[in-house]
Amino acid sequence: MEVRVENLSKNYGAVQALRDVSLSFVDGGLTAILGPSGCGKTTLLRCIAGFLEPTAGAIYFGNENVVGLPPQARGTAMVFQNYALWPHMSIFDNVAYGLRLQRLPKDEIRKRVIDALNMVEMMVAPDILERKPTALSGGQQQRVALARALVVRPKVLLLDEPLSNLDAKVRQRLRVELRRLQRRVGITTIYVTHDQEEALSMADQVVVMDCGEVRQVGTPEEIYRKPTTAFVAEFLGVTNVLAGTLMADGKTVLAAGTQIPLPEDVPASSDHFTIVFKADSAYILQDQPVPEDAVTFAGELVEVFFVGSTYRHYVKVGKEMLLVDSPFRVSGPQVKVVVPRAELQIYPGAPLGHDAEPTCSVG
Amino acid sequence: MNRVKIARIVLVVVISFIIFGPLSSLVIWSVAEKWYWPHLLPQQVGLFYWGKVFQGRMMQALQVGVLIACVVTALSLLMTVPLGYVLARFRVPFKAVVLLIFLLPQAFPQLPVFANATVYLYRANLGGKVPGVILIHMVGALVYAVWTMTAVFKSIPASLEEAAINLGASRIRTFWNISLPLATPGIIASALLIFLYSLDEFTGTLLVGSPFVLTLPVFMYNASQGYELPVASITALLLMIPGIILLLVLERYLKAEYLSSFGRI
């Protein structure tokens, strides 16, 4: 089922939770909606499920605009962060609920429930059907919740931070299984998460949202390697963000005492620029010659932390503190931070600032 | 170890005395056939008054009281289960006002409120009749019922209902299949509170019902007014029994979540 939203807006009084969102979701694939809390991602999901009525815009399932249809008539199935299994019903009754609503014959219900539980690898014990959900671990409960959603063969599968309540180990494993399962059933899936690693590793398409707006849509690789806005770049990974000002020649930006020529595809449309690069794309040199196609910041090595997979270097350049990840420890104090030009992103406009108040106030 | 044991026994005895000490005089009075000052204990002990009580109007008062309590409980639940659900789940305009209206009769001294209500009930030809007493009990019972039912439904996560709606269940079906079964322990707890309130209610019953409708508290009041202290004591003891039994049951059903969601309605 192809799912599209067009010019979708949702207001709560004066607060705009969604602002003119237009998206198309991968048919049969997994689209992750990624963003900080309050970015509107859950609002978008609930509009698609029908729990919220958008203020304006359209939601298409295939060629049908489903805005105005009650949630019961939309044929979506949702998996919730808190599992939302019914504690007074057995596992069987939980999974069978949707099928009983469709008044299917008993034999078929039983067969499909068992199939679904097999699919999520929950037919682990002979008495599993009779057990109550509270007797299961969090990971097992979420598997059952997934079976309950899949058993009705929904047109669209909606997942609202389904792994957020689980501990890291279970989360890692379920991530892989969920991805495999989704590929197998081929149901158009919309996955809301605030965890960028989860979004990047699972999705065919990632939508980054902020302040009720879509900031970027792309494959995980595109989002990670070529963020098109400063927000996306900052939100993904350990990132350095510098404020730059346009120099008098209109072709060079001055940031942290270093002149950076503006790339040709970035117009000199603003006096202020945001310069972004990832901690692992830069490296540190001492006296060695600097390669040509790179930008250099001269600074003072303040601190080095071993963070497991890498050494994280803190280099003070003017007033700014830069982070550089390197597989080996470099000693200071005077060092050069070198960033290949291709790894440096420049956006017009001043940076948002790490500790700045969010510019939007979305519930 | 022994010292700890002894200390524990002493503690239990002291606490028991504090709890049961005042009640012991009721027990003694209930079996006192003759007890004059300055004797410490009754001169003559027997079950004369127990027999008298069980033959007479007291049993009738008990029956009437239980009947009224049952009707009050049923009516209150019938009204407040749907109302509590709506108040907990939907954005009701003037929600605070609705809840406040139910609280209002409790905000003023009971006696003038009930005395005033009595005038109206007599005017409506309900004074001195069981329906009148039921109505006056409802005034107090609905307060407990609305507030507890709203808290009970609030304590059920909305996502449990959304999961059912999402799979195709109607609102009403979701209420019957999901919300109501999950709220049952809270509804039972609420029902017990209402039942006990009605069984023990005195002021309103006396004003509206007397002398035609007698419940146990009014009966006890009359008995003690007539210096029939043994009869009053027996009635008091009997009145305690349902309370103790129901509170033991209540303790099983009343969950901490309900209490914690009580304030944030």
**Distance from C-alpha of A60 to C-alpha of A71, rounded to nearest angstrom:** 14
CB contact under 8 A, B168 and A88: no
Is there a single domain that holds both residue B89 and residue B194?
yes
Nearest alpha carbon to residue A203 among B199, A216, A213, B66:
A216
pLDDT digit string (tens) for A94-133?
Answer: 999 999 999 999 999 999 999 999 999 998 888 889 999 9
Q: What is the pLDDT of residues A185-199, one digit of tens each?
A: 999 999 999 998 899
CA distances from B98 to A282, B104, B146, B190, B228 (A): 63, 10, 10, 19, 45
> Within this chain, do residues B26 and B87 fall inside the same structural domain, yes or no?
no
Task: Count structural domains, chain B.
Answer: 2
Mark whether B35 and B85 lie in a shared domain: no
A76-79/A156-160 β-pairing:
parallel
Domain assignment of residue B208, yes or no = yes
B160 contacts A84? CB cut-off 8 A: yes
* Terminal CA-CA length for chain B: 49
B158 Cβ under 8 Å from any chain A Cβ: no
Token pair, residue A222, equals 């595109």
Quote the pLDDT of residue B78: 95
> Which residues in chain B have Cβ-Cβ distances shorter than 8 Å to A42?
none
E strands present in chain B = 32-34, 44-45
Structure tokens at B196: 């006990």
In a shared domain, residues B216 and B91:
yes
Virtual CA dihedral for A80, A179, A72, A117, nearest 10 degrees? -80
**Chain B contact probe: residue of A80, A148, A190 with most B CBs at under 10 A:** A80
CB contact under 8 A, A86 and B162: no
- Same domain? B132 vs B218: yes
pLDDT on residue B228:
79
Asked if the structure places residue B199 within a domain, the reply is yes
CA dist., res. A49 & res. A159, Å (int)? 10
Residue B94 lies in a domain: yes
Residue B51 lies in a domain: no
Contact B166 A87 (CB under 8 A): no
What pLDDT score does A356 carry? 46
Q: Range of B156's domain?
A: 56-264
Assess if residue B18 is contained within a domain. Answer: yes
- Write out residues in chain A with pLDDT < 70, as ranges: 352-363
Q: How far apart are CA B211 and CA B208, in angstroms?
A: 9
- Are B32 and B147 found together in one domain? no
Q: Which two tokens stand for residue B101?
A: 């209206």
Task: Classify residue B204 as exposed, middle or buried by CB count within 10 Å of its CB (0-12, 13-18, 19+).
Answer: buried
> For position A362, what pLDDT does the model report?
41
| Residues of B with Cβ-Cβ distance to A152 under 8 angstroms | 167-168
Q: Which of A314, A309, A313 is nearest to A329 (CA)?
A: A313
The series of mean pLDDT values per 10 residues for chain B, 265 residues long, is 88 90 84 82 83 78 91 95 92 83 82 88 89 91 88 92 95 95 89 90 89 86 80 84 80 65 49
B192 and B71 part of one domain: yes
Q: Is residue B50 a part of any domain in this protein?
A: no
Q: Is residue B188 part of a domain?
A: yes
Task: Say whether both B17 and B147 belong to one domain.
Answer: no
What is the domain-level CATH number for residue B247? Answer: 1.10.3720.10
| B60 plus B41 within the same structural domain | no
Residues B9, B91: one domain? no
Q: Kindly list the residues from chain A whose CB atom is less than 8 angstroms away from the CB atom of residue B160.
A: 84, 86
Q: What's the ipTM?
A: 0.81
Handedness of CA A55, A61, A62, A68 (dihedral sign): negative
Three-state DSSP class for residue B44: strand
The per-residue DSSP string of A231-267 comes to HHHHHSSSEEEEEEEE-TTSSEEEETTEEEEPPTTS-
Find out whether A134 and A83 touch, Cβ atoms under 8 Å.
no
Same-domain pairing of B126 and B25: no
- Do B62 and B33 lie in one domain? The reply is no
Which residues in B lie closer than 8 A to residue A165 (C-beta atoms)?
none
Mode of pairing for the β-strands spanning A76-79 and A334-340: unpaired
pLDDT in tens, B174-199: 999 999 999 988 898 889 889 989 99
| Whether B91 contacts chain A with CB within 8 A | no
In a domain, B209, yes or no: yes
Which pLDDT score is estimated for B257? 58
